[in-house]
Amino acid sequence: MPQVTYVDHDGHETRVDIPVGENVMRGALYNGIEGIVGECGGGLSCATCHCYIDEDWTDTVGGPSSEAEAELLESASGEIRPTSRLSCQVEITPALDGLVVHLPETQF
């Protein structure tokens, strides 16, 4: 299983295994990672799973997957950066083994 490292706003790192086909949001929720809320359950109707893809991974992960994701990112409560993504839209693949995501200070 690919490993993903979540880095909270204070710099604390938590590394977890996430099955291929899952997404970064559910990986956080299933493993009790604070900082990802996912109010809509991954339905692409909120922005409470906002994260920042580590700069070393931006080429592999890419930018917003759709116009809807890009629009929702505009409503995220945290600072929007070029590496911002909704974690529900980042599907885990074997190529993402070692992925690092940074979490904003708040989702509200």
pTM: 0.95
What does the alpha-carbon distance between residue 93 and residue 82 come to, in Å, rounded to a whole number?
22
Q: How do 50-53 and 84-86 pair as beta strands? A: antiparallel
- Predicted local distance difference test score (pLDDT) of residue 55: 97
Which pLDDT belongs to residue 64?
Answer: 92
pLDDT, tens digit, 9 for 90 and up, residues 74-95: 999 999 999 999 999 999 999 9
What are the chain's domains? 3-102 (3.10.20.30)
Phi-psi region of 55 (alpha: psi -120 to 50; beta: other; left: phi over 0): alpha
DSSP SS3 for 56 = helix
pLDDT at 59: 96
**Which residues of the chain fall short of a pLDDT of 70?**
none
Look at the block and give the residue holding tokens 């099955």. 19
Residue type, 81: R
Instruction: Give residue 10's pLDDT.
Output: 96
- The pLDDT, as a whole number, for residue 33 is 96
